Chain A
Amino acid sequence: KNEVEQSPQNLTAQEGEFITINCSYSVGISALHWLQQHPGGGIVSLFMLSSGKKKHGRLIATINIQEKHSSLHITASHPRDSAVYICAVRSSGTYKYIFGTGTRLKVLA
């Protein structure tokens, strides 16, 4: 079992829909990151969370440390949101990052 699990693996939505991507982890962490990867490989950091909730534009990320779970929400989704969304955790006491396999999101116009 992977130490970082994401669900769903693939997601197709209609433009305007509210989207939720989930990340569960089984190790102790000092931080959790959400990343966006576009076709061709470019990766952009979206959020770093160690507790609570963060919002940036139409993106909201939450984390529950006790439950070892984080969610990424996209409100009013748009075709340009189509990408792979990756959850990554920094393992406690190390510099090592462990990544989920990603959620492939496609938003249809």
Chain B
Amino acid sequence: DTGVSQDPRHKITKRGQNVTFRCDPISEHNRLYWYRQTLGQGPEFLTYFQNEAQLEKSRLLSDRFSAERPKGSFSTLEIQRTEQGDSAMYLCASSSLASLANEQFFGPGTRLTVL
């Protein structure tokens, strides 16, 4: 399968712990997005990478959140000192610069539960 993959699919952690999620986009997709989705809501934009450059970051991305895409391929999203309010589905999507429609392909998400 050559779709967007995310790991882990589920993560349960205790408040105060650090967690890291990984996203592997579709090969050769230059664009990579991270979103957060809570129950009953639409996704919220967190950050955008074009190749390895982080070009935009939401104000939602507090200083406890950091994202990287060091080689322009996979990306990681780290949350430090997790809080119960961080519990959500974290979605990754990728698209190609060559796509005029910027059709985004979404991964299955990582569901985070902070106890």
Count of A-B contacts with CB under 8 A?
Answer: 55
Kindly identify which residue among A43, A44, A48, A99 contacts B101, using a CB–CB cutoff of 8 Å.
Answer: A48
Q: Which residues of B contact A101 (CB under 8 A)?
A: 40-42
Interface size on B, residues (CB 8 A): 26
What does DSSP make chain B's interface, helix, strand, loop or mixed? strand
Instruction: Establish whether residues A42 and B44, one from each chain, have CB atoms under 8 Å apart when the complex forms.
Output: no
Instruction: Establish whether residues B42 and A96, one from each chain, have CB atoms under 8 Å apart when the complex forms.
Output: no
Kindly identify which residue among A43, A90, A96, A102 contacts B106, using a CB–CB cutoff of 8 Å.
Answer: A43
Q: Are A86 and B106 also in contact (CB < 8 A) when A96-B48, A97-B33 are?
A: no
On B, residues with C-beta under 8 Å from A are 33, 35, 37, 40-45, 48, 50, 55-56, 58, 89, 91, 93, 101-106, 108-109, 111
On A, residues with C-beta under 8 Å from B are 4, 31, 33, 41-45, 48, 86, 88, 90, 94-102
